Amino acid sequence: MRIRILFLALAVAGCSSKAPRSEQTAQPPTSHSTPTPASLDSLYRMAQLLGSLDMQALGTEPFWSVEITSAGMTYRAPEHPGGIVFPYVAPAVNDSSVLFESSQQDALPRTLRLSIQRRPCSDGMSDRRYSYAAEAWLDGVQLHGCARYVPRR
């Protein structure tokens, strides 16, 4: 539910008036402020209408995906077909992006950061268009892609 409310905050707020940066950064973004309480009332009503949706970020070259649900975030890639599961942590939000940051302590400690921005995106391999762009950092390795809402399984 929190995921949908925060992504709806991006949809209602629209894109930032700033032009997207063309240069790529080597460091992931840092946490930002949360949405204002005044905006949450209407966002809550909208989120009720979208109650059956989760979010998925995906990219090509290399192929990867992150499924975001209230139960957790699952990173998948050809070398991790079963996925690496990270606990869900409420994201930080600013006027143009949502940032998820999570870590796990298995035999090999791992971290995942996922930034989603509301701006048009193409996966580069098909004609498919997405409403959101995504950047992921798995253990410090940066990945680029797109994001979309998907029906809950």
- What was the pLDDT predicted at 153? 65
- What was the pLDDT predicted at 42? 45
Q: In the chain, what are the domain boundaries?
A: 2-14+32-151
- What was the pLDDT predicted at 92? 87
Spatial separation of the C-alpha atoms in residues 150 and 56, rounded to whole Å: 7
Q: Is the dihedral of CA 33, 74, 2, 90 positive or negative?
A: negative
Yes or no: say if 103 and 111 are a contact pair by the CB < 8 Å rule: yes
Average pLDDT, consecutive stretches of 10 residues, N- to C-terminus, the chain (153 residues): 47 39 42 47 47 80 90 92 90 85 84 93 85 94 92 71
- What was the pLDDT predicted at 103? 94
Yes or no: say if 145 and 126 are a contact pair by the CB < 8 Å rule: no
